Amino acid sequence: MDCIFCKIVAGEIPSARVYEDDEIVIFKDIAPKAKIHLLCVPREHFAHLAEADAGQGEMLGRALLKIASLAPALGLGEGYRLVVNQGESAGQTVPHLHIHILGGERLGWD
Ligand code: 5GP
Ligand code: ZN
């Protein structure tokens, strides 16, 4: 499959990884939109939450808890924002589900 995040997960495209386990990889976004901008990507390919089965839903729950536990060590102890763009009109450009992790500064909301 010609998916850029599958290739990053497989190590075929280099990335600045900050965490990985058997379910997720977290790496730095190549075009950061905040002082700290990470992407949490499931190893398993699926594009949208609407496609996720119960097991993938549980995996995403574990991913959220993992992000929370890693946050202080990632420099996000003062707070962070999680974003999941779903669909083209929401700004999704990579059709492999990913959680944006934004922080390291005071974030605006407008
Ligand atoms: P989306 O727009 O789909 O919600 O988010 C895709 C994100 O992936 C964007 O923030 C973009 O900068 C990032 N991105 C796209 N290609 C690469 C890449 O090759 N490496 C890394 N590290 N990030 C990428
Ligand atoms: Zn993929």
User: What is d(CA 83, CA 99) in angstroms, rounded to the nearest whole number?
Assistant: 6
- Name residue, tokens 């003062």: 78
Arithmetic mean of pLDDT over the chain: 97
- The alpha carbon of 24 and the centre of ligand 1 are apart by a number of angstroms equal to 16
Residues 6+ apart with CB under 8 A from 94: 3, 4, 5
Q: Percentage of the chain surpassing pLDDT 90? A: 98
Q: Does residue 1 register a pLDDT over 90?
A: no
The phi and psi torsions of 8 (rounded to 5 degrees) equal: -65, -45
Mean of pLDDT values over 24-35: 98
Mean of pLDDT values over 40-68: 98
Q: Does residue 110 register a pLDDT over 90?
A: no
pLDDT of residue 57: 98
Check residue 105 and report its DSSP letter: S
pLDDT tens for each residue of 90-108: 999 999 999 999 999 999 9
Residue 30: CB atoms within 10 A of its CB come to 12
Domains and CATH numbers, the chain: 4-103 (3.30.428.10)
| Nearest CA, atom 4, ligand 1 | 92
pLDDT of residue 109: 94
- The alpha carbon of 106 and the centre of ligand 2 are apart by a number of angstroms equal to 31
User: Contact 12/2 with Cβ under 8 angstroms?
Assistant: no
